[in-house]
Structure 1
Amino acid sequence: MSEITPPENTDAQSGSERVFAFFRRKVLSGELRTGDRLPAERDLATQLNVGRPLLRESMRSLAMLGLVDIRHGSGAFVGKADISVLTDFFTFSLAQEQNVSEDIMQARMAIECQAIRLACERATESDLDRIGGCLTALIKTLSDPEKGGMADFRFHAAIVQASHSQALVTLYKAISELLMQNHVERRRVTHKTPKVIDDLVESHRQVFLSIVEGDGDAADRRLREHFAIGDELRRKSIIAAFSRGGMAE
């Protein structure tokens, strides 16, 4: 696991690092907002003590992340970060770690348990309709691991969306590729066991009802029970599959 360290002293930073640090500092402080025009290239290069070719290269890198919008003939403007870039980063980075599935599950629990509490307070009728629709889709796709896994993911993603917390939604989207993969893999293991499927449906139904009821404590408890049940059902399904002679089918 990588060590968490504070930003390096700017005196020791390279030219490109100074450009990124400047941009990060201005955005975090609120001095620069989406749509704001950045200083002219000559002025910015002088301010940061970097060459203009290096500044252009750094700005192109920021543009690839969606953080800068370079308009030829007009200048450079603050853009809005592309979440898909962050998703790709997390996917590639975490996929190289050991026990990534367990790690992702822990992150998912942390995000969803807070999100469901907020959803109980903030969910609109539209949010409830969306979550209910995802539950219906989940029930209709129980026999299909691929579609069922994706329906399961969308159900939980809709809960996070209903939290109306941009930070939680962004973090959830950042690990969405790994979450979708995890949902599908779990469904492949469990979809042929009727008892598992019945419990899966009831567990999701109880989670949904807790949001409708608007009881944050009950919602948090039911969601944690849902995670625990899901893990136990997955274990039982694996044992049952091997008891039948393996999982080759």
Structure 2
Amino acid sequence: MANSPWQALQGIGLSQPEGAAEEIAARVQRLILAQELTDGSRLPSERDLAVLLSTSRATVSQAIRILVVKGLVESRRGSGAYVRMRPEVNLATSINLMLDVEPGSVDALAELRLGLESTGIVKAIERATSDELAEAERALCRLAQSAGDTASWMSADTYFHATLISASHNAYLAAVFDSVHTALINYEYRAWIDKGTVPSWLESAQIDALTAIHEPILRAVQKRDVDGALYAVRHHHEVMMKHLRASQ
């Protein structure tokens, strides 16, 4: 890790041991922004970060989960954590702030997400290339492999939906959708992220049910089936609403 920008984290003591995860997350966030690290840059392993910061892997793991919730880091199960520096991150932060100020607005935000995804999916049916559909297939596989790990699932779920909406070839629609979806999924899972646990519906044993609400969306897009796609998007929305209400 010689000459790595992450070396800047070394040797700086933690001022508040009881809030060490939050402090580490803030420090990593500042480093990412100060160094202008590119989207997709890999973070050091949790073990290496723990050594650099003279703290435990459990504390580092919690800090990574905090950064996933903020939308600044993407967690890939079995691979590690990566910088997620995209223009829509700032918009997602603003939406998160609105949710914090007015939690009762989550239904309205979910309604917006449904409208954005419905529009994006119809456009993706019209415009998606074979390469984009192949990437969406890979995203679906990654989603299935992420069951049982809350942070990895959040990243994989966001990537799956964002991949399909980006196939609409409307960058503004894709950016707004990504921000809204990120804010909603963070709100949905924040209690489990804070606890470091996995909700019952996200356990590995539930993989068939989890796949059943995602795969039909992709299959309908592949078949260029607008009605089927809109039905699948609506069904996913209804399941998401159940999870959102359970998290409140």
Compute the displacement of 1:180 (Å).
4.0
- What are structure 2's unaligned runs of at least 5 residues? 1-86, 193-197
Percent identity of the aligned residues? 22
Letter in 2 for 1:190: W
Paired residues of 1:119 and 1:163 also in contact (CA < 8 A): yes
Q: Distance in 2 between matches of 1:189 and 1:102?
A: 22
Equivalence map 1:129-208=2 (5 Å)? 129-182=134-187, 184-185=189-190, 188-192=199-203, 194=205, 196-208=206-218
Q: TM-score, normalised by structure 2?
A: 0.54
Q: Distance in 2 between matches of 1:114 and 1:214?
A: 14
Letter in 1 for 2:202: H
SS of 1:118 mapped into structure 2: helix
Inter-CA distance 90–207: structure 2 relative to 1 (3 Å threshold) = same
SS of 2:147 mapped into structure 1: coil
Compute the displacement of 1:159 (Å).
1.5
Inter-CA distance 123–183: structure 2 relative to 1 (3 Å threshold) = farther
Deviates more, 1:98-107 or 1:219-228: 98-107
SS of 1:99 mapped into structure 2: helix
Q: Which residue of 2 aligns with 1:125?
A: 130
Paired residues of 2:113 and 2:181 also in contact (CA < 8 A): no
Q: Distance in 2 between matches of 1:169 and 1:136?
A: 21
Letter in 2 for 1:101: V
Q: Distance in 1 between matches of 2:170 and 2:244?
A: 33
Letter in 1 for 2:138: G
Q: What per-residue deviation string (whole Å, max 9, x for no partner) do you get for residues 166-207 of structure 1?
A: 33113224435413414545873522383x432221221111
Q: Distance in 1 between matches of 2:146 and 2:178?
A: 23
Paired residues of 1:87 and 1:174 also in contact (CA < 8 A): yes
- Larger RCO of the pair (alpha carbons < 8 Å, separation 6+): 2
Equivalence map 1:1-249=2 (5 Å)? 83-182=88-187, 184-185=189-190, 188-192=199-203, 194=205, 196-232=206-242, 234=243
Inter-CA distance 211–145: structure 2 relative to 1 (3 Å threshold) = same
Q: Distance in 1 between matches of 2:204 and 2:146?
A: 14
Compute the displacement of 1:98 (Å).
2.5
SS of 1:224 mapped into structure 2: helix
Q: What per-residue deviation string (whole Å, max 9, x for no partner) do you get for residues 140-176 of structure 1?
A: 1111111112211111111111111233113224435
Query: Bigger radius of gyration, 1 or 2?
Result: 1
Paired residues of 2:124 and 2:169 also in contact (CA < 8 A): yes
Q: What per-residue deviation string (whole Å, max 9, x for no partner) do you get for residues 83-121 of structure 1?
A: 444333333234311324323221111110111111111
Q: TM-score, normalised by structure 1?
A: 0.54
Paired residues of 2:220 and 2:228 also in contact (CA < 8 A): yes
Paired residues of 1:122 and 1:162 also in contact (CA < 8 A): yes
